[in-house]
Amino acid sequence: MRKLISVAIATAFAAATSLALAQATPATPATPAKPAETAKPAMPAAPATAAQAAEPAKPAVAPKGKAKAKGKAKPKAKAKPKAEMKSEMSK
């Protein structure tokens, strides 16, 4: 019995709340629809560009001069022996 009463009260409360909420928010008037814009005329297609004759291929030109090997560095100066380095530091 208590469940039936609580369900009835909840239903009445929900109905009253939704009714009060509906009355509190004024209905907005319908905005008139914009008339459809007239279609713009189609633009004519641009004329095709004329094809140009291809230039004949040129043979590859090898660079002139002395060819250098890649990846090889200049020879480095030889390091002094350790004995000489120690004697120079002690001076």
| 10-residue stretch averages of pLDDT, the chain, 91 residues long | 92 86 68 76 75 76 68 64 60 55
The pLDDT of residue 8 is 94
Q: Where are the alpha helices (DSSP H) in the chain?
A: 2-24, 82-89
> CA–CA separation, 54 vs 60, rounded Å?
18
The pLDDT of residue 67 is 63
Its pTM surpasses 0.75? no
The pLDDT of residue 5 is 93
First to last CA, the chain: 113
